[in-house]
Structure 1
Amino acid sequence: MTFTLRPQHATRYAALARLLVRYGRSDLVSGVGMDEFLEATEPSEDAAASAEQLARDLEAMGPTWVKLGQLLSTRVDLLPEPWTDALSRLQDDVEPIPFEDVERVVTEELGVSLRHGFASFDRTPLAAASLGQVHRAELPSGRQVVVKVQRPGVRQVVRDDMAALTELAELADAHTELGRRYGFTQLLEQFRRSLAGELDYQREAANLTRMAELTAPFPHLLVPAPVPDYTTRSVLTMDFVPGRKVTALGPLGRLDLDGRVLVEELFRAYLQMILVDGFLHADPHPGNVLLTPDHRLALIDLGMVATVPARVQGQLVKLLLAISDGNGDDAAAVLASMGHRGEGFDASAFGEQVAELVSRTVALGSDLEAGAVLVELSRLSGTHGLRPPAEMAMVGKALLNLDQVTQHLDPDFAPAETIRANTAEILRSGMKPSLGGAMAAAIEAREFATQLPARANRVMDALAEGSFTVKVEAIDEVQFLHVMQRLANRVTAGVIVAAMVVGAALMMLVPTRSRILGYPSIAMICFSLAAIAAAVLLTLILVTDRRIARRSKADR
């Protein structure tokens, strides 16, 4: 299979083809007709080394590929552990853009020069990444802030990369077994939404505001507030939060800190946000959590945020309860109901391995890590041909990152105990009706009460007139009659063929001068017609049954 190459995407096709061949997916390249880009490369036998090299290659290819690698690190149902581990450590630190470009972007976006819009603006960035960089500044009011400035031209680069990836994903889904199994187009759509959120700084500002509201009941958690008047799609201004990364905290530093209170609040807040509010900060790794001088935890960088649907929230709660109770059968049933079953899915084998994993998990006791268990269950699902919802893998990865944060603050913290202690509260919160849901139910109740008398009168009138009917659609009558007619035709044809054979056998005894091969002609003609009719009937039966079987398989 070949496809028409778009000249503007040629270098991207070639770069992706080299990656796929180098890391063992040349079958995918051949399937989409990219053989002309293949090069003789020897993949490494060491999986960990190959995974680290892939991470370096993606970093060299630019921002879109770095973000794609970071997203793939959450899809443990698609990639083996060494690869997801390497991709989760992807860094997009790059050379900072010239300050003149920063000044131009801020001036164009805010409509005011740095000199008039800020009391001060540091020329040296605090951090520089592939999508943007951060500068410390001070507003005329004296408010200390940081300003996140998007790199000029990065939107166009991402747009071109996404166009090339979309074309290849569609081709892979249509022409390769790997694409049909994993659905690259669906995966790319998830990536598109995630990347669009990271490029829209107004959306990130809304995420900051939303998370501040959700963490308000937790006094030891802090989220920097955005400055709306100084925020656009390409410039984000928020409060400056002094502090140091939790990764820089050593054993001596923990002596002056009540780490247990901090990690319990952090974990409870995330469980509440994910399982009740459906708000998922998908990247709470230790680098995005700061310890402030007043011993609070500041949560920063909310570019990667996802929504957990209500259906998935309920299933995750049931899954965590099943794991906590050591009920492997219930855990397997919940996972099977959550995911999309592939053709090779074996429910029995899957259930056995889930039960074994849950048993090993329960044996860990207080050492249980909820994130690690969800990640392993996602990986196990992918191995058995069950594709779990993307949100489950992202929740598992987020909780796994939280486990790393808690290890820096309180190595003795037991997430399993916190989950069990807060399960009842999570269930109560999840059952509280929302204002919108209550109003919708009230409107439906009013409509029901308004229409009930008229409907009851129509039913009573129909009963009185003898015209009341009940229609039950237990089966498809048309299809049933069609099948019965086809069956009757086959039986009738079979009886006629049998009658012709019996008649021909009786005619063998009739004396006649007209013979074929030494037998009466009339008998031989009847035998021939019966044989032809039988062959035609058998052919029709086989062809029809195969067509019906293919149609039933396609409907499933």
Structure 2
Amino acid sequence: MEILNLKSKIEDLNRLRQIITVLFEAGFGFIIDRLRLRYLVPLRLRLSQRFKRLKAPAKPEIKPPQVRLRESFEKLGPSFMKLGQILSLRPDLIGFEYAKELEKLQSRAATFSFEQVEKIIQKEFGRPIGELFKSFEKKAFAAASLAQVHRAVLKDGTQAAVKVQRPNIEETIKKDIHILFFLAFLLEKYIPESKPLRPTQVVKEFAAWTMRELDFKVEATNTERFRYNLKDEPDIKIPKVYWDLTSQKVLTMEFVDGVKLDEEERLAKMKLSRELLASNAVKVLLKQFLIDGFFHADPHPGNFFVLKNNIICLHDFGMVGYVSPEMRSEMVSYFMSFINQDMENSLKHLLDVAEVREGSDVEGFKQEVSSILSAWFYSPAKESIATSFFKAISASVKYNIVFPSNLVLLGKAMLATEAMAKRFYPKFDFNEQFAAFVGMVYRSAFDPRAAAKDFQDNMFDYLAFLKKLPEHTLKLLEKFEKGDIGVKINIEEFIEVKEEIDRQNDVRILAGLTAITLLTSALVMNIEEARIFGISLGRIGLLIGFVLIIWLFNLVRKNK
């Protein structure tokens, strides 16, 4: 076992030396020096660099650093290509210029041999390709950093797309993740200005994202979830998963023959309503962002197909984002305040979802965001809502304020959605559709039916709370009797205490009556026959319940 560990450590050291060498050759020696890793650079390269400096006193022309970084990631292989792709979604951390350059990594990947594909499929399913598929094309029609895709025909004649994971990619990525954690540690230790960027946290997120993507069953589950969430959208197509031919390293799905949104020549030959397609694409993505809370985190044109009759097909669900119900509520409130040009509440709702730490410059952040919002509120040449929102959250890093990574992904996805819609239909008004959609979501939150459903969904929680209330009250009284809780009250305050107890009793009775009324009404609403003068008893009960809530609210407010 010790020999195996030694071998692994030697391999890690050799890989670290390779990474440092590639970065050094790309002109990032100044960072290597600060990390105190120059000793890993081969002596010949160090001497060669010094000789070049002496020989050429004039400053040579070199490529921009973001280009050199992208080229370095390409040389370092799939792990770093995937890291670059994820970093391209985080311009709040690396800046827009670097993010834009790293986006070019999306479509650059070499294929691997068909013999390796055969071995992987046989190992996953215990049977050769010929027994699993009627036919299987040897040449991959798409390749990415983690996998490549082949066209195949199932035994029943169904056309399928088969995604096969690169050989040994999981082991390679795990080793690179260990090295990235080491480099992140050195960055935070020796380069203090990198701490607001939280290098270790970035590597943790990269590791979590990538290990999930390496399990194709997770992507298959994501696909099925999108199919369920969008089942009532007639203009949206999500490919079907064939689970009997899907494993951790192989994903078999329905083959959809469509035209990508960036294939202009083919699109021009189709009879399409570009305005309708742009509107449908934006609508379905806004639904993901603000209603479902489960969204496609990488909606670039290559992940969208156009089919006949103005239908859009979404695919590639390896990278997804999640927005909790609480965060969705804050975001809808933020966007409503933004649309209504309410500066104070916009800032409030934005900071409500942020992580403010010791040393955070909240006032500085507010000032910068205020100038961003003012440019939208009062300038005749307005930027898009998506751009203003993303600028606002991207400004947080320099003020030591952190937003959840899923929220940043949402902002980036919104930008990509708008860019895709405008590329397809240049006259598309994203702001108008966005404002209308947010207004619809905001109004639906106050729909009595939504309130009744929410109450019904949480009914057992409320009942559990009511059941436990007497027990907790008795325990509290016992502590009072034992003297575990000391209370000192002046004799003159007894009358006030009695009045307060009487008031609380009234509030408890009214609260209990309100809860019972709403609970009973929610149950009665499921009985269609329960009506008076043609009006549902459940609706009458809900109305009474809302009246009691208002009464209860006024009683509490009056006696504060």
TM-score by length of 2: 0.74
Residue 323 in structure 1 maps to residue 338 in structure 2: yes
| The one of 223, 226, 241 aligned to 1:226 | 241
Matched with 1:153 is: 168
Aligned pair partner of 2:38 in 35, 40, 47: 35
Matched, 1:102 2:123: no
TM-fit CA distance, 1:20: 6.0
**How big is the alpha-carbon RMSD for the aligned residues of Structure 1 and Structure 2?**
3.5
> Deviation per CA, 1:482-540, whole angstroms, max 9, x where unpaired?
xxxxxxxxxxxxxxxxxxxxxxxxxxxxxxxxxxxxxxxxxxxxxxxxxxxxxxxxxxx
Corresponding residue of 1:477? none
**Aligned mates of 1:305, 1:281 — CA distance in 2:** 5
**Counterpart in 2 of 1:351?**
366
Q: Shift of the alpha carbon at 1:435?
A: 8.1
SS state at 1:411 partner: coil
1:445 to 444, 462, 477: 462
- Residue number among 263, 267, 272 corresponding to 1:248 in the alignment: 263
> Which string of whole-angstrom CA distances, capped at 9 and with x for unpartnered residues, describes residues 392-437 of structure 1?
2211111111122212332111121112111233235667479898
Question: What is the Cα deviation at residue 344 of structure 1?
Answer: 5.4
The amino acid of 1:68's aligned partner reads L
Provide closer, same or farther for how the CA distance between residues 325 and 113 of structure 1 changes in structure 2, counting only shifts above 3 A.
Answer: same
Contact 2:23 2:72 in 1 (8 A): no
User: For 2:325 and 2:473, how far apart are their aligned partners in 1?
Assistant: 36
Q: Deviations over 1:440-470 (max 9, x none)?
A: x43343344445556667889999x998966
For 2:233 and 2:195, the matched residues in 1 are separated by: 45
**Separation in 2, partners of 1:367, 1:293:** 35
> Which deviates further from its counterpart, 121-130 or 141-150?
121-130
Q: Return the alpha-carbon distance in structure 2 between the equivalents of residues 234 and 371 of structure 1.
A: 36
- One of 424, 430, 433 as aligned partner of 2:439: 424
SS state at 2:290 partner: helix
Any residues of structure 2 matched to 1:128-527 within 5 Å, and which? 128-249=143-264, 253=268, 256-341=271-356, 345-362=360-377, 368-427=383-442, 432=450, 438=456, 441-452=458-469, 471=487
* Cα drift, residue 119 of structure 1: 1.2
How far apart are 1:290 and its partner, in Å?
Answer: 0.8
Alignment partners' CA distance in 2, 1:224 and 1:201 = 15
d(CA) in 1 for partners of 2:455 and 2:203? 33
Deviation at 1:361, TM superposition (A): 2.4
Cα drift, residue 296 of structure 1: 1.0
Kept in 2: contact 1:221–1:299 (CA 8 A) = yes
- Tell me by how many angstroms 1:84 deviates: 1.1
The Cα shift of 1:216 comes to 1.6
Q: Which amino acid aligns with 1:33?
A: R
Is residue 73–residue 83 contact of structure 1 (8 Å, CA) maintained in 2? yes
**Contact residue 278 and residue 308 of structure 1 kept, 8 A:** yes
Q: Counterpart of 2:310 in 1: which secondary structure? A: coil
State the distance in 1 between where 2:363 and 2:431 align. Answer: 28
The alpha-carbon deviation at position 382 of structure 1 amounts to 1.9
Aligned mate of 1:7, from 6, 10, 33: 10
Distance 1:29 1:80 in 2: 21
Distance in 1 separating the partners of 2:461 and 2:138: 59
Deviation at 1:122, TM superposition (A): 1.0
- Give the deviation of 1:266 after TM superposition: 1.9
Q: Is the 8 A contact 2:336 2:439 kept in 1?
A: no
- Give the Cα–Cα distance (whole angstroms) in 1 for the partners of residues 444 and 380 of structure 2: 26
In the TM superposition, what is the alpha-carbon distance from 1:208 to its structure 2 partner? 0.8
Q: Which amino acid aligns with 2:351?
A: A
Residue 7 of structure 1 aligns to which amino acid in structure 2? I
Largest Rg, 1 or 2? 1
Q: Secondary structure in 2 aligned to 1:226?
A: coil
1:331 Cα deviation after fit:
3.0
Cα offset for 1:256? Answer: 2.8
Alpha-carbon separation, structure 2, partners of 1:333 and 1:397: 21
SS of 1:77's partner is: helix
User: Would the alpha carbon gap of residues 363 and 288 (structure 1) be closer, same or farther in structure 2, given more than 3 Å must change?
Assistant: farther
Q: CA separation in 2, counterparts of 1:371 and 1:243? A: 28
1:32 positional shift: 4.2
C-alpha displacement at 1:148, in angstroms? Answer: 0.6
Segment drifting more, 190-199 vs 11-20: 11-20
Aligned-residue sequence identity (percent) comes to 26
Alpha-carbon deviation of 1:95?
Answer: 3.0
* Change in CA separation of 1:92 and 1:407 when aligned onto 2, cut-off 3 Å: closer
**Contact conserved, 1:346 with 1:384, CA < 8 A, in 2?**
yes
Q: Distance in 1 between matches of 2:166 and 2:36?
A: 35
Matching residue's letter, 2:463: R
Letter in structure 2 aligned against 1:244:
V
Quick one: distance in 2 between partners of 1:460 and 1:397?
54
Measure the CA separation in 2 of the matches of 1:47 and 1:358: 38
Q: Flag the 1:372–1:413 CA change in 2: closer, same or farther, 3 A.
A: same
For residue 230 of structure 1, report the CA deviation from its aligned partner. 0.5
Matched position secondary structure for 2:201: helix
Q: CA deviation at 1:28?
A: 5.4
Query: What SS class does the counterpart of residue 257 from structure 1 fall into?
Result: coil
Distance 1:24 1:312, change over 3 A: farther
Deviation (angstroms), 1:353: 2.1
User: How many angstroms does 1:357 deviate by?
Assistant: 1.1
Q: Is the 2:361–2:401 contact (alpha carbons within 8 Å) kept by the matching residues of 1? A: no
What residue in structure 2 maps to residue 73 of structure 1? 88
Partners in 2 of 1:466 and 1:341 — Cα distance?
Answer: 42
What is the DSSP-based 3-state SS (H/G/I as helix, E as strand, rest coil) of the residue aligned with 1:119?
strand
SS state at 2:162 partner: strand
User: 1:354-373 CA distances to partner (integer Å, 9 max, x unpaired)?
Assistant: 12211222457796433322
Q: Call closer, same or farther: CA 1:47–1:181 in 2, change over 3 Å.
A: farther
* CA–CA separation in structure 2 for the residues paired with 1:104 and 1:449: 60
1:57 equivalent in alignment to 2:60: no
Contact 1:275–1:317, Cα closer than 8 Å, also in 2:
yes
In the TM superposition, what is the alpha-carbon distance from 1:131 to its structure 2 partner?
1.4
Change (3 A) 1:388 1:125: same
Q: Determine helix, strand or coil for the equivalent of 1:147.
A: strand
The AA in structure 1 aligned to 2:314 is L
Q: Distance in 2 between matches of 1:192 and 1:22?
A: 26
**SS across alignment from 1:124:** coil
**What amino acid is the match of 2:80?**
W
Q: Distance in 1 between matches of 2:165 and 2:314?
A: 21
Structure 2 gaps of 5+ residues are 1-5, 54-58, 489-560
